[in-house]
Amino acid sequence: MLTDGLARVRDRLARAAQSPSDGKAVLFVVAIAVGFLLLTTLLHLPHGPEHWSADFRTAHWSKHPDTQHKRIALIYVTERTLEAYPYLSPTDRQLLADLVKAVDATGPAAIGFDFIIDRPTEPAKDAALFAALREAKAAVVVGAVNEDAHAPGGGHSYQADYLAKVNRSIGHLHFEGVHRSKVIIVDNVIRLMAKPNTSRSYPAAFAEQLAQKAGSYPKPKSEYISWLLAPVDKSETFLTLSAEQVLGRSTGPALPLKDMLNDRIVLIGGNFSDRDQHLIPLSVSDGRRYPGLFIHGQILAQIIDDRSLSTLSIWVQAIIYLLATAIGFWVGRRQTKIHLLTELVSVMVLVGVGILAFIYAHLIFPYTGVLLTWLAGVSAGYYSRPHHRAA
């Protein structure tokens, strides 16, 4: 009974799409193209279906540098660093003060401080950290998060007071990647830098501020992060040290820190298992999460290397979707049946185009949207053939 009912519905839909005139065919093609353009661009679900298939491409065909990046270093405070301390959070402020002083003594080009200071701890240690950041000889950028509201009673928040006392450049620590939705489950993968947002308490981005301290660089062409893969020589992407190594508290031999950190942009932050850990496109193979400091380092490297990923404007995408739908419609009208081979070849060709555009033109080609509009056009053309007209 159910099967018969579904068959009748299918037959009615086929008769409704019977052999439209040329004018109706054009409207049909335009409607499909516009519909998928809205789906992939304006609805942002999240950032469009393109992302559902693009992470594999990013993880395998992004740039493989020959060796480690020469201008950036990362210094991590970890659970192991804090084993001798009575608490893990907030991170001991005297430790952070000592770390900033030790890095500053090596003569870095700039220091990025990726810790959120939004509540008091021990007054003497708080004061020591503020003084270390304020008095450092190197250019310093301190990270901050958006101020949702002022402190109760009309005063300033503790973060605002801290930023005023250290009197250094401020960069927000936000990434673009976490969107709330009532219709889908978001994947929380960080693919984009935070978009310019004047409503933020601190509009400039952390990595952007650091790049400005080290020179003058053009802004990336899009918000997409241009990731660096592991170097060909198997070294780490960035020089990475633990806080214990920098402070001389590790069990190994003392390191020539001045030679290692001099004239580099040094980012100091945490690498804790329970906070600030993110999925990124490079996580696609193993599900590994990366600390926020590593992502800031990737964005910073992109800026100072003048690397960008380009995207197509909405008008260019509209033209491409329209052409894909029209050609698909034309092909569908000339097929006697919808061939699985046609669909498989279409997928392979468009995926190939997307990969080649990414590798050689550094372009994010919306092949998922093009594929959907193409297949929709083929189906529409096929089911509007005269042989589907009711007998």
The DSSP annotation for 146-191 comes to ---SPPGGG---HHHHHHHHHT-EEEE--EE-----SSS----B--
Question: Is position 192 within any domain?
Answer: yes
Q: What is the pTM of this model?
A: 0.82
Q: What is the pLDDT of residue 134?
A: 97
Q: What is the pLDDT of residue 21?
A: 47
Instruction: Determine the structural domain holding residue 29 and report its residue range.
Output: 21-59+310-388
**For residue 11, what pLDDT band results from cuts at 50, 70 and 90?**
low
Q: What is the pLDDT of residue 85?
A: 92
Pair 265, 246 in one domain? yes
Pair 158, 230 in one domain? yes
* pLDDT above 50 (res 13): no
More reliable by pLDDT, 278 or 27: 278
Axis crossing angle, helix 50-61 with helix 367-383, rounded to the nearest 10:
140
Lowest mean pLDDT among 25-34, 91-100, 189-198, 199-208: 25-34
Close Cβ partners of 338 (under 8 Å, ≥ 6 residues apart):
332, 378, 379, 382
Pair 96, 208 in one domain? yes
Pair 285, 342 in one domain? no
Question: What is the C-alpha separation between 131 and 166, in angstroms, rounded?
Answer: 7
Average pLDDT over residues 144-153: 66
More reliable by pLDDT, 338 or 209: 209
Question: What is the C-alpha separation between 195 and 222, in angstroms, rounded?
Answer: 9
Pair 360, 213 in one domain? no
Dihedral in degrees, nearest 10, Cα atoms 63, 68, 70, 73:
110
CA separation, residue 46 to residues 110, 174, 296, 379 (Å): 35, 17, 22, 26
Q: What is the pLDDT of residue 3?
A: 55
Pair 289, 373 in one domain? no
Element (H, E) at 269: strand 265-270
**pLDDT tens column, 81-100:** 999 999 999 999 999 999 99
Question: Is position 77 within any domain?
Answer: yes
* pLDDT above 50 (res 9): no
**pLDDT tens column, 321-342:** 888 888 888 887 777 666 667 6
Contact 257, 75 (CB under 8 A): no
Contact 381, 26 (CB under 8 A): no
Pair 180, 94 in one domain? yes
Contact 293, 346 (CB under 8 A): no
Task: Decide which of 279, 304, 329 is a domain's last residue.
Answer: 304
Task: Decide which of 268, 284, 304 is a domain's last residue.
Answer: 304
Question: What is the C-alpha separation between 168 and 174, in angstroms, rounded?
Answer: 18
Question: Is position 187 within any domain?
Answer: yes
Question: What is the C-alpha separation between 273 and 201, in angstroms, rounded?
Answer: 28
Question: Is position 5 within any domain?
Answer: no
Task: Decide which of 272, 304, 336 is a domain's last residue.
Answer: 304
* pLDDT above 50 (res 368): yes
3-class DSSP state for residue 240?
strand
Q: Percentage of the chain with pLDDT > 70?
A: 77
Contact 174, 266 (CB under 8 A): no
More reliable by pLDDT, 377 or 154: 377
Question: Is position 323 within any domain?
Answer: yes
Question: Is position 3 within any domain?
Answer: no
Nearest to 292, CA basis, from 163, 141, 173, 116 = 173
Residue with tokens 């001099």: 262
Q: What is the pLDDT of residue 327?
A: 86
Question: Is position 115 within any domain?
Answer: yes
Lowest mean pLDDT among 34-43, 230-239, 275-284, 296-305: 34-43
Structure tokens at 205: 């981005």
* pLDDT above 60 (res 224): yes
**For residue 30, what pLDDT band results from cuts at 50, 70 and 90?**
low
Question: What is the C-alpha separation between 18 and 15, in angstroms, rounded?
Answer: 5
Number of domains forming the structure of the chain: 2
Pair 104, 160 in one domain? yes
Question: Is position 300 within any domain?
Answer: yes
Pair 208, 253 in one domain? yes
CA–CA–CA angle 178, 180, 182 (5° rounding): 150
Structure tokens at 376: 């929709």
Max CA distance (Å), the chain: 90
More reliable by pLDDT, 342 or 269: 269
Query: Please, what is the average pLDDT of the chain?
Result: 82
Would you give the DSSP letter of residue 205?
B
Pair 145, 236 in one domain? yes
Q: What is the pLDDT of residue 150?
A: 44
Pair 158, 33 in one domain? no
Q: Percentage of the chain with pLDDT > 90?
A: 48
3-class DSSP state for residue 8?
helix
Q: What is the pLDDT of residue 252?
A: 78
* pLDDT above 80 (res 177): no
Pair 194, 338 in one domain? no
How would DSSP label each residue in 108-141? -SEEEEE----S---HHHHHHHHHHHHH-SSEEE
